[in-house]
């Protein structure tokens, strides 16, 4: 593009300018850059078009909402426009990757494979046949009936604040208050000594606080 009586050529530039992580209760926390593991690059260009691509495959622990902002400007920075978009990583769901099994996925979330099996009825025919791209629940969405702190909620759901925060990394503190009618991802502990081995599985301490699956 050019101005009248101006022979200069102005290229269109788009650059990541700001990013924020939204906590469970709505606070925006500034981040130093784009989400970890993401890439941003110019994919295609011509005299009339320039295409940029943003790619990101979230990992466990990156669930939640982020606000990503991009600045559009000419190459001389005569004018600059900012556009921001919210990107949500859905909680409680995981896309199976090549070679993953329910047992391996359970280890990522400190859970027994039977606990995952119980909340994935679509896998009941043969839980061993997981194909890449299959969506597996790693928890269930629980809607809080009233305001309560995280320890109270964890006790009611037979789990721990740490376990809830692992599935909801936007909950920032073990003592955080959770508002009424919020949706929290939880995976109640089916396996353990307190259930009397009713599910034929148990958890034992290994490497500090990390549970081993037996």
Q: What is the pTM of this model?
A: 0.79
Element housing 113 (H / E): helix 113-118
Nearest to 34 by CA among 62, 72, 75: 62
Nearest to 23 by CA among 180, 157, 178: 178
Cα(91)–Cα(181) distance, integer angstroms: 16
pLDDT in tens, the chain (214 residues): 444 555 566 677 889 999 999 999 999 999 999 999 999 998 776 666 778 899 999 999 999 999 999 998 877 777 889 999 999 999 999 999 999 999 899 999 988 888 899 899 888 777 777 889 999 999 999 999 999 999 999 999 888 999 999 999 999 999 999 999 999 999 987 776 454 444 456 554 433 344 443 3
How far CA 179 is from CA of 116, 144, 172, 176, 213, in Å, comes to: 27, 7, 14, 10, 33
């Amino acid at each position: 593009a050019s101005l009248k009586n101006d022979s200069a050529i102005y290229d269109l530039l788009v650059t990541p300018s700001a990013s924020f992580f939204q906590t469970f209760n709505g606070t925006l926390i500034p981040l130093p850059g784009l989400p970890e593991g993401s890439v941003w690059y110019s994919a295609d260009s011509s005299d009339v078009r320039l295409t940029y691509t943003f790619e990101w495959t979230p990992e466990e622990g990156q669930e939640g909402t982020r606000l990503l902002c991009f600045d559009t400007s000419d190459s001389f920075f005569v004018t600059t426009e900012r556009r921001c978009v919210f990107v949500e990583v859905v909680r409680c769901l995981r896309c199976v990757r090549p070679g993953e099994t329910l047992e391996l996925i359970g280890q990522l979330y400190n859970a027994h494979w039977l606990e995952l099996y119980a909340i994935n009825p679509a896998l009941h025919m043969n839980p061993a046949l997981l194909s890449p791209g299959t969506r597996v629940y790693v928890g269930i969405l629980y809607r809080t009936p009233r305001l309560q702190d995280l320890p109270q909620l964890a006790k009611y759901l037979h789990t721990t604040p740490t376990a809830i925060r692992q599935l909801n990394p936007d909950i920032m503190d073990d003592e955080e208050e959770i508002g009424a009618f919020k949706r929290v991802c939880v995976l109640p502990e089916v396996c353990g000594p307190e259930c009397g081995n009713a599910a034929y599985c148990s958890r034992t301490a290994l490497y500090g606080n990390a549970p081993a699956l037996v």
